[in-house]
Amino acid sequence: MVDPSPSSVTPVEKNHSRYNQGVLSQRIFFPPTFNRPTRIAKANGPISFAHYMHLCLSHPTEGYYMNPSNAVFGSKGDFITSPDISQLFGELVAVWFMSRYLEAARDKAMRLVELGPGRGTLMDDMLRTLSQLRSLDKVKHVHLVETSSALRKTQEQRLRFWAEKSHLKLVWHDSIDDIPAAEDTYTMLVAHEFFDALPVHLIEKTHQGWNEVLISSAPDLAAKNVLRPSSSSSALDLPSPAVLSSPSTSHFRPVLSETSSPISTLLGSSSSRFLSLPIGSRIEVSPVGYRIARKVGKLIGGRPDSDEEGRKELGSALIIDYGGDRAYGNSFRAFKDHKIVDPFHRPGQCDLTANVDFAYLKEAMTDLLSAHFVNTYGWSRHLAPTAFDSHLPCYSATTYGPITQHDFLMRMGIGKRVEDLQSKATSEGRKTTVENDAKRLVDLTGMGKEYKVLGVVSPPPAAGHMVWPFVEAEKTS
Ligand SMILES: C[S@@+](CC[C@H](N)C(=O)[O-])C[C@H]1O[C@@H](n2cnc3c(N)ncnc32)[C@H](O)[C@@H]1O
């Protein structure tokens, strides 16, 4: 079995993952080369964190993920992710999906959906595992939701082999909204380190309501009399090194708007959890993440006009990311060359990220049917933002967890799989690598604790039914 004790993990230089490792390893300042955020902030006034994040990551030519000159992944890039650390990660994810499929939908055709597939490593490992389990012939489509054409090319090169071998179709989409409903097909949807890359708004609870913290390019505080420097720190947060302590050398400054706006008010009331927060609390909220999670809930939950059998067998999803079952207020950060860096100093050339509020994602995926009736018949509904809802009625999906990546992988049998791989290894060095890589994934002082796994299935399992490996976790909807 894998011993997850961190002392036995070999440190790997230039090989860092993106969770908040608690230290600003190096504050690095660069002159901005991508000046669109500055131009927009100068022309129109301060911009939201969400707008800044969207521009820096997803601008069509200069965005971090869009520009092929950014290496992004691996030891030559800015960070490494679990699928690239060990093939065992994707294998065990695939085994989880197959166990759900065999329990719920044996014999149906399958389709795989991945949100933000990066280099395609996770999907490659999943397809190989399905092939080894002699189930690949059931997969008709692989849907990849990816906005970066540079990364689409990399994914195509990586996955083409499976398309040719098994005659499955690889289909790329700009948005999860473009994935068609397919109730005769079992959907397996995975999102690994995807939700953390979606833009967050930063809002602060004040005596007047929720006000947004914005990013200003104006050096002169007095010139902006509707804004004041953002100073409070969130009661909700990690001691984050990254943002709001930015020194004056930065081209941007966070500033707190003195009035609430429709978006800050909407976001502040979008979860009942936010109502009880004390004045001065700050939270990062992603309406884009909410909307995408809601669509995941709809794809997995299904429509009420599907028959009972179809309702049970629609599919399952795993959402894996860093974060927890709570809101964060100060987790926004940037990565460059495997180090946490100042997020304002190299727009478009650094990865930007924020911890995921899994409770918010669960809220988005559940209560779908009642939300529809409330919206349709105009009953008062003061919590869930109707602006995020579409008008099609859907069942809620059922969510489990999140549990830690350590618990997920250990319970899915990573220890046994390490032994299998080691028994086939042709050198001692390979055996050590297999073990160290697995230990890194489950390390309780690092990735094993910081990354969480949320399970999503179609409703509703029979009373007393559990979904492995989410055993100690209460059913959360
Ligand atoms: C941090 S990377 C994770 C890659 C991969 N899942 C992994 O774990 O190695 C984020 C991925 O999501 C994609 N992405 C970011 N924002 C997106 C959006 N709004 N819609 C679709 N894809 C997006 C990026 O291009 C990239 O492929």
Taking CA atoms only, the protein residue closest to ligand 1 atom 21 is 146
Cβ(154) to ligand 1 under 6 A?
Answer: no
Taking CA atoms only, the protein residue closest to ligand 1 atom 11 is 116
Give the pLDDT score at 220. 47
Take residue 448 and report the two structure tokens written for it.
């094993």
Cβ(118) to ligand 1 under 6 A?
Answer: yes
Q: Which residue has the tokens 């505080």?
A: 221
Please tell me the distance from the alpha carbon of residue 400 to that of residue 175, in angstroms, as a whole number.
25
Give the pLDDT score at 388. 45
Who's near 107: CB < 8 A, 6+ residues apart? none
Which of 147, 200, 296, 320 has most ligand 1 atoms within 8 Å of CB, for mutation?
Answer: 147
Give the pLDDT score at 238. 40
Q: Are 141 and 114 in contact (CB under 8 A)?
A: no
Cβ(91) to ligand 1 under 6 A?
Answer: no
Bridge partners, 339 (sequence order): 336
Please tell me the distance from the alpha carbon of residue 326 to that of residue 321, in angstroms, as a whole number.
13
Taking CA atoms only, the protein residue closest to ligand 1 atom 1 is 193
Give the pLDDT score at 222. 45
Own/partner pairs for 65-69, CB < 8 Å, 24+ apart?
65/147, 65/148, 65/150, 65/151, 65/197, 66/147, 66/148, 66/149, 66/150, 67/150, 67/348, 68/150
Please tell me the distance from the alpha carbon of residue 338 to that of residue 331, in angstroms, as a whole number.
17
Give the pLDDT score at 409. 98
Please tell me the distance from the alpha carbon of residue 146 to that of residue 187, in angstroms, as a whole number.
18
Q: Which atom of ligand 1 is nearest to the CA of 18?
A: 1
CA of 114 from ligand 1 middle (Å) equals: 10
Buried b (16+ CB within 10 A) or exposed e, 129-158: bbbeeebbebbebbbbbbbbeebbebbeeb
Cβ(194) to ligand 1 under 6 A?
Answer: yes
Give the pLDDT score at 377. 45
Cβ(199) to ligand 1 under 6 A?
Answer: no
Q: Are 176 and 248 in contact (CB under 8 A)?
A: no
At the top level of CATH, the class of 82-197+288-324+357-376+395-458 is alpha beta
CA quadruple 172, 175, 178, 182: dihedral sign: positive
Q: Which atom of ligand 1 is nearest to the CA of 58?
A: 16
Give the pLDDT score at 182. 87
Q: What is the mean pLDDT of each run of 10 residues along the chain (477 residues)?
A: 34 60 39 61 79 91 84 78 96 97 88 97 98 95 96 97 94 96 91 97 96 81 41 42 44 88 95 95 96 93 62 85 96 87 84 96 80 47 43 76 97 96 94 96 96 89 80 59
Cβ(32) to ligand 1 under 6 A?
Answer: no
Who's near 379: CB < 8 A, 6+ residues apart? 373
CA of 430 from ligand 1 middle (Å) equals: 30
Take residue 247 and report the two structure tokens written for it.
């020194």
Taking CA atoms only, the protein residue closest to ligand 1 atom 4 is 118
Give the pLDDT score at 42. 64
- Determine whether 110 is exposed, middle or buried from the number of CB atoms within 10 Å of its CB (0-12, 13-18, 19+): buried
CA of 370 from ligand 1 middle (Å) equals: 31
CA of 190 from ligand 1 middle (Å) equals: 12
Cβ(343) to ligand 1 under 6 A?
Answer: no
Give the pLDDT score at 14. 56
The structural domains of the chain, with segments of one domain joined by +, span: 35-59+201-232+247-285, 82-197+288-324+357-376+395-458
Q: Which residue has the tokens 């009661």?
A: 235
Q: What is the pTM of this model?
A: 0.86
Cβ(81) to ligand 1 under 6 A?
Answer: yes
Q: Which atom of ligand 1 is nearest to the CA of 121?
A: 9
Cβ(286) to ligand 1 under 6 A?
Answer: no
Cβ(151) to ligand 1 under 6 A?
Answer: yes
Cβ(192) to ligand 1 under 6 A?
Answer: yes
CA of 397 from ligand 1 middle (Å) equals: 23
CA nearest neighbour of 457 among 441, 433, 473, 444 = 473
CA of 116 from ligand 1 middle (Å) equals: 3
